[in-house]
Amino acid sequence: MKKIASFTVDHRYITPGLYISRIDGDISTYDLRFTKPNAGEYLDNVTMHSVEHMFATYVRNSSLADSIIYFGPMGCRTGFYLLVRTHDNAAVFDLVKDVLAQIVAHTGEMFGTTEIECGNYRELCVESAKVACKMYLDALNAGDKNFDYPGGEA
């Protein structure tokens, strides 16, 4: 059976950053890697859920709103996938940093916090989303804009 694309990347070399996971036609899948895989520090469920609510809301209200296909967590709890109908990596990089800055500066309530809006509305925390997004924004600001996974194939 053929391996899926994400299983062909050697996760031992991935560090926090923004990577192109795959390109399918006009859709680019970006890997927003918040933490180093298999290093013992993972995003807890409340933080992942909270970042998902905040990031998805802000990105779907951004200048690229009409190009956003999906934003959601990785099962390994080290980051998120962002699917966008564009191949403009620089624009996506700037958008991700802008959305992260908006989350860090957010005042007020979490988005989607009622039983009507969310299937697990009790597990949300604005502050945990802000902390995780600040750490990731700092990592993006300190890194390069290469978009290629480091290391070789698995």
Relative orientation angle of helices 45-59 and 126-142, to the nearest 10 degrees: 70
- Residue-number span of the structural domain to which 27 is assigned: 5-141
Read off the CATH number of the domain in which 93 is found.
Answer: 3.30.1360.80
State residue 154's pLDDT score.
54
Q: Provide the domain count of the chain.
A: 1
Q: Does 13 reside within a domain?
A: yes
Q: Does 44 reside within a domain?
A: yes
Q: What is the DSSP string of 105-125?
A: H--SPPSS-STTT-TTTTS--
Q: Does 136 reside within a domain?
A: yes
Q: Does 47 reside within a domain?
A: yes
97-149 pLDDT, tens digit per residue, is 999 999 999 999 999 999 999 999 999 999 999 999 999 999 999 987 889 99
State residue 5's pLDDT score.
79
60-85 pLDDT, tens digit per residue, is 999 999 999 999 999 999 999 999 99
Q: Does 32 reside within a domain?
A: yes
For 119: left if phi > 0, alpha if psi spans -120 to 50, otherwise beta; the answer is: alpha
Tokens 């309530």 label which residue?
109
Q: Does 111 reside within a domain?
A: yes
